Copies of this chain bind each other. A is one copy, B any other.
């Protein structure tokens, strides 16, 4: 079964909205894809016909097993291409998304599997998100990006996503190092900066950009949807 780029974008969006098999509603898909609710309804009929989702009108919808499998293969492609762009072609983190959105729709299993091998079968992409394998199995995320770390939960700095001298200087100034304990206390939506407590002592403000480069390990946190 193969899909148009548009269909794939809907599938991916629905997958991301239905974490833990929650029902998804029309409007949230419309907002995410910046389209109208009517267009979403049209596409839902089509995807139901292709047996990718469970859908009764006015009742919400969610991907079935086949739909989730399809979503995972798209996500696999997206994250492998992001890894390629950053690790091999020297793109910056914030430059890859738009291009990866195009590359993820290239249809060729041979291509994506060779790319996977060439990259050394990475388990996580440059944003720290797990890359599903060829069977759709998602690696367990031992460390996650600080921007995705839940509030009021104790974690430990496990990796930094950059080696730039400027960044290391900033971390030293904030008294953050590998192994420091960290708790997210507050998030400021205005600039996406966050306030964290380091080593159970000092409160520090971390910019969105810095947070993107910090990875946190935590124990006993439920793993992502599979």
Contacts and interface: CB of A to CB of B under 8 A. Distances in A.
* Interface majority SS (helix, strand, loop, mixed), chain A: helix
Copies of this chain, whole number: 2
Contact of A108 (B102, B106, B111, B115): B102
B88 A118 contact: yes
Interface stretch (A13-21, A44-52, A89-97, A168-176): A89-97
Interface string A75-108: 0000000000100111100010011001100111
A110 interface: yes
A114 interface: yes
A99 B108 contact: yes
Contact of A106 (B90, B103, B107, B118): B103
A108 B85 CA distance: 12
Contacts of A108: 98-99, 102
Contacts of A98: 108
Looking at A103, A111, A114, A118, which has the most chain B CB atoms within 10 Å of its CB? Answer: A111
Contacts of A118: 88-89
Contacts of A111: 85, 89, 99
Contact of A89 (B91, B103, B114): B114
A106 to B, nearest CB: 5
B102 A114 contact: no
A98 B110 CA distance: 11
A108 to B, nearest CB: 5
10 contacts: A89-B111, A89-B115, A89-B118, A90-B114, A95-B110, A99-B106, A99-B108, A102-B106, A102-B107, A103-B106
Interface of A: 85, 88-91, 95, 98-99, 102-103, 106-108, 110-111, 114-115, 118
Q: Which 10 A-B pairs have the closest CB atoms?
A: A89-B114, A99-B108, A102-B106, A99-B111, A89-B118, A103-B106, A90-B114, A88-B118, A89-B115, A102-B107
Given A89-B115, A102-B107, A102-B108, 12 more contacts: A89-B111, A89-B114, A90-B114, A91-B110, A91-B114, A95-B110, A98-B108, A99-B106, A99-B108, A99-B110, A99-B111, A103-B106
